[in-house]
Amino acid sequence: MHENPAAGESTPLLLLPGLMCDARIFAGQLAGLASARMAADYGDLDDLGAMAERLLAAAPPRFALLGHSMGGRVALEVVRRAPERVARFVLASTGVHPRRDGEQEKRHALRDIGRAQGISALVDVWLPPMLGAAAARDTALVETLAAMCRDAGMARYEAQEAALLNRPDVTALLPSIDCPVLVIVGSEDRWSPPEQHRAITAAIPGAELVVIDGCGHMLPVEAPGAVNAALSRWLAEPPATPCQNGYAPQ
C-alpha cells in the first residue's frame, strides 16, 4: 500500500459489487490498485440498509468506497449511516432513482425465468444487455461473467432483487454529501446510461463525472486500465473542501 499521506491510496478502498457479482467484477482493480480490497460479503441479504450495516461492522475505522451498480446504492446507505467514516467514494454504473413504474414486473419476469428454467437461463437473458459492444465479442470475458452470475444462484439473486425493489429514497441524502465523490460510467451502458450519471453528478455538491468510451454496465472489468487510471488520478487529488466532522479525506 502506498504510504504517501497526500495520496488517496493511503486509505483502504473497499469495493462493493452489484447484482449477482463478486470479486471477479473487480479483478482489475484488486490487481492494479494497492489500496483496493473487497468489502464484507453482503450478497445474501435482502435489504440495502442491512447490507450497509454488515459492511460497516467489518470495515476499518476510516475508508474509501467504490460501489458498482447495486453496490453504489449500498455505498449511499453506508454514507447515510456513518459519513464520518467515509473519506471519499465512487459511484460506478449505478442509479439513485426510486422504483419506477413497471420495474417490479420486469424484475419478477426475470426471476420467474430463473425459477422455471434455472439460473443459467436467467443469466443468458440478463447478461448480454449489460455489456458494451467490444466486451460482448470477448468470449472469455463473457464466460467469466456468466460463470460469476451463475455461481451467485437463485437465492442470492432473489434476495438482492428484493433489496433493490425496496430501496430507500436518497433524494435528500445526495445534496448533503460533503466528501469527494467520483461518478463513473461507460458510454455504452444501456442499464444505467451516462445521462443518468450526469443527473447524479449534478445532485451531489462537487462531484466529478468520468465517462469511459466503449464500455457497458460491467465497466470495472470491461475497461480495467481506464478505470484504474481514473481512480488513481482522483484518489491522489486532495479534497477541495474538508469532509464531515473535521476529517480530512486521504
pLDDT digits 0-9 by tens, 210-245: 999 999 999 999 999 999 999 999 999 887 544 443
Q: For residues 111 and 153, give the distance between their C-alpha atoms in angstroms, rounded to a whole number.
A: 11
Q: What pLDDT shows up at residue 207?
A: 97
Computed on alpha carbons and rounded to an integer, the radius of gyration of the chain in Å comes to 17
What is residue 8's predicted lDDT score, i.e. its pLDDT?
Answer: 41
pLDDT in tens, 78-114: 999 999 999 999 999 999 998 999 999 999 999 999 9
In this predicted model, which residue has the larger pLDDT, 98 or 141? 141
Dump pLDDT digits (tens) for 12-42: 999 999 999 999 999 999 999 999 999 999 9
Mean pLDDT computed over 109-122? 98
CATH of domain 8-99+165-245: 3.40.50.1820
- pLDDT at position 238: 84
Q: Which of 218, 221, 24 is nearest to 128 (CA)?
A: 218
Query: For all residues of the chain together, what is the average pLDDT?
Result: 92
| CA–CA gap between residue 21 and residue 70 (Å, rounded) | 9
Give the start-to-end residue ranges of the domains of the chain.
8-99+165-245
**Distance between CA atoms of 63 and 84, rounded to whole angstroms?**
10
Report the predicted TM-score, pTM, of the whole model to 2 decimal places: 0.91
